[in-house]
């Protein structure tokens, strides 16, 4: 039986697309780097079946689609060699299993891609940037600096946030994230494998268990002393590798780091910043360092020094 989208629930709090409030509660302003809401899996619902593509060959069940693998060019697919777990057969079917996470500009859905009549399948995360009626690109100006196109009309439309401009911004976010994931995966930064991009939908490796349970965010975990030190070491190495390539995450926090069986995975990279070309590149490195180091320090890790981490990143990026 296919598990419906109802098996995944939005977390309680500020609503489907809202965010917890910080600072001045009276003004009700949202911070740009607040955590996204995560759709929790209902523990009282059945787990996902091992295979969920059915045996239909002539038609598809409602909500299903044929694999979009052939709709992406080689440069719009993940780096080779493709992982052995990835289903690339054109006869495969994509079955949507529910929503995993809602965020500022995109929602993430759980997809099972499998070949009908076989047990060959894999789980994917489909990150879909919303249409112009729902996108919340009102705090992205700092990230878009250095991403201007050569087309004056396009730059003006993005600056004025017209409908066309928002479409351009969405495409930039999706393409920037996919390009960053390709580069970072190749550089062995712990990020999900980028499967493919089609329009403003980015398909990624699903970080979680085979039953469809997503890995928790770092902020949701309570690691012991040994695991805390291990996660810190993994994080520092990942951030140093980013800086070595002249990049900063740009919005790094305990809410866009996943922990899967002791392994730290960095997610949500549409705003990745080139710290060399961006006029405020150094400040993005510093903010990322402070956001994550403060979390580890608050949990008693002596090595988590925000200022020292920031200096290491600046040196690795050759900014000092």
Q: Mind telling me the catalytic residues?
A: 251, 268
**What contacts 96, CB < 8 A, 6 or more positions away?**
5, 63, 64, 109, 110, 111, 126
Structure letter (DSSP) for residue 148: -
Instruction: Using CB atoms within 10 Å of the CB of residue 70, give its burial: 0 to 12 exposed, 13 to 18 middle, 19+ buried.
Output: exposed
User: How far, in Å, CA of 241 to CA of 188, rounded?
Assistant: 8
CA angle 234, 239, 245 (to 5 degrees): 130
Instruction: Using CB atoms within 10 Å of the CB of residue 45, give its burial: 0 to 12 exposed, 13 to 18 middle, 19+ buried.
Output: middle
User: How far, in Å, CA of 261 to CA of 318, rounded?
Assistant: 34
Closest CA to 173 of 135, 124, 123: 135
* Radius of gyration of the chain measured on its C-alpha atoms: 20
Calculate helix-pair angle for 225-244, 306-316, nearest 10 degrees: 30
Say if CB 239 and CB 289 are below 8 A apart. yes
């Amino acid at each position: 039986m296919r598990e419906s989208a109802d098996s995944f629930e939005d977390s309680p709090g500020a609503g489907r697309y809202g965010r917890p409030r910080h600072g001045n509660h009276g003004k009700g302003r949202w911070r740009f780097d607040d955590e996204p809401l995560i759709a929790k899996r209902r523990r009282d619902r059945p787990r996902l079946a091992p295979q969920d593509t059915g045996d239909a060959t002539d038609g598809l069940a409602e909500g299903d689609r044929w694999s979009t693998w052939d709709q992406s060019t080689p440069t719009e697919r993940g780096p080779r060699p493709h992982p052995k777990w990835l289903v690339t057969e054109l006869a495969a079917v994509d079955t949507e299993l529910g929503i995993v996470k809602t965020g500022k500009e995109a929602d993430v859905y759980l997809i099972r891609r499998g070949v009908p009549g076989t047990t060959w399948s894999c789980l994917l995360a489909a990150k879909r940037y919303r249409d112009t009626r729902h996108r919340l690109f009102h705090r992205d100006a700092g990230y878009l600096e250095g991403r201007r196109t050569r087309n004056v009309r396009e730059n003006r439309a993005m600056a004025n946030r017209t409908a066309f401009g928002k479409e351009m911004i969405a495409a930039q976010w999706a393409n920037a994230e996919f390009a960053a994931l390709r580069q970072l995966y190749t550089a062995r930064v712990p990020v999900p494998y980028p499967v493919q991009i089609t329009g403003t939908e980015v398909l990624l490796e699903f970080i979680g268990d085979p039953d469809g349970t997503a890995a928790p965010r770092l902020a949701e975990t309570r690691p012991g002393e040994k695991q805390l030190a291990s996660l810190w070491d993994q994080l520092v190495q990942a951030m140093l590798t980013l800086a070595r390539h002249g990049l900063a995450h740009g919005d790094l926090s305990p809410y866009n780091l996943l922990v899967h069986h002791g392994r730290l995975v960095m997610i949500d990279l549409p705003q990745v910043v080139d710290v060399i070309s961006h006029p405020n590149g150094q400040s993005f490195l510093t903010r990322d360092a402070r956001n994550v180091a403060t979390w580890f320090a608050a949990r008693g890790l002596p090595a988590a020094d925000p200022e020292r981490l920031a200096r290491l990143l600046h040196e690795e990026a050759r900014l000092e």
